[in-house]
Amino acid sequence: MSVKGGTVVLAYSGGLDTSCILVWLREQGLQVVAYLADLGQDEDFEEAKKKATKLGAKEVVVADQRRELVEDFVWPAVSADLIYEDRYLLGTALARPCIVSGLVRVATRVGAGYIAHGATGKGNDQIRFELGCSALCPALKIISPWKDPAFYERFPGRQELFEYARKNDIPLPVTPKSPWSIDANLIHISYESGVLENPSTHPPEGIFQLTTDPEKAPDTPQRLTLSFTTGVPTSVSVEGEGTQVTDPLEILLTCNRIGAKHGVGRIDMVENRFVGLKSRGLSETPGLTILRAAHLDLEALCLDREVRKMKTYISTRMAEQVYNGLWFSPEFEFARSCIKTCQKVVTGSVTLKVYKGNVYVLGREAPVSLYNQELVSMDVQGNYDPSDAKGFIRINALRLTEHQRLKQEMESAS
């Protein structure tokens, strides 16, 4: 790496890797501003701030981005029903552009010429950080030590990092490191690497930190009602608690609490990374699982059939874009505008029941919807003439009969 001094904003976690990177960046002649994003993870931010200061950071920024994460990233994901490869609710991928936004704001304020991160060269996060920074502030240069030979050849393994930490008075972990890596925020906790890299290995007992084992969850189900306005969650009421929660951050935290208690939101999957590798990971995402189930059900009541089909296609593409670090791309902006248009009619409420790892929809209502009870009733004819169905069926049968004719002619010719 060749730099000529200046200031770098480092995405700092307080762990061994980014602490060593902080010291290494100072060795390269850079002034380091350490940036810690509070996204709701269980972290001692004051301790991490003291650690970064002790290691020579000229400034340490601890930014509370929890509300920003919910309102600017989670809520759009709920409106679009984002899910990657049918199961992953993008807990890490949604957090990364939020962190990038914070990094760029600080870099702009302090006049930094660089942004640095500790993501590895095999994962998705390197792409998410660097594409995001390139989109929001192209003038910023990226320092990615784990892709820099000057760094990774000096530190080919954990032992070399430990030795470097000892020489530079970098505090080492006082507790044994889990045999897997963990990413946590208020959306989810995910686990990968280590013993989990073998896809046939069963999740170790006690690995899940957020949710109750569904087999040990309460034997009594719990009901809650979620309300939406133009596709965005606006309130949640939990049966028996007597209050209606309307604050966006508290809505997600309430859904997390109820879902976690009842073992909702656990998955174990092999996913396709953007770089072309397959990766096995576990995650627990209780609140977003509940919110998505409610929103999908309300859409079925409110959205036109063909619009819903197109929206499903767009949603799949959007999930891929978020996973691949393209939150700030023109295609994602276009897709969001499409979603915003179709969500104008998605207003109403859904009542659900959570029980031993599952979410069950009990009922839904909307002030304006496409559901016409009189029209669909078997007891009332309404504005529908059953004899019209004869021609409808004949027209749709034409394609099928022609297909059979073709098959018979082909069989006769052979």
> Does the annotation count 19 as an active-site position?
no
Residue 116 near residue 9, CB atoms below 8 Å = yes
| Known active-site residue 193 | no
Asked about 86 being catalytic, the answer comes back as no
| Terminal-residue alpha carbon distance, the chain | 70
Give the Cα separation of 73 and 94 in Å (integer).
6
Catalytic residue chosen out of the listed positions 181, 235, 329, 369:
181
Compute how many other C-beta atoms are within 10 angstroms of the C-beta atom of residue 390.
9
SS3 372: coil
Exactly one of 81, 125, 183, 297 is catalytic; name it: 125
- Of 17, 38, 148, 268, which one is the catalytic site residue? 17
Pairing of strands 31-38, 7-11: parallel
72 is catalytic: no
List 66, 96, 292, 364, catalytic entry: 96
Q: Give 181: exposed, middle or buried? Use CB within 10 Å, 0-12, 13-18, 19+.
A: middle
Structure token digits, residue 382: 């309404």
- With CA atoms as reference, report the closest residue to 234 among 220, 250, 258: 250
Give per-residue burial for 4-36: e unless 16+ CB within 10 Å, then b: eeebbbbbbbbebbbbbbbbbbbebebbbbbbb
* Residues acting as catalytic residues: 17, 96, 125, 181
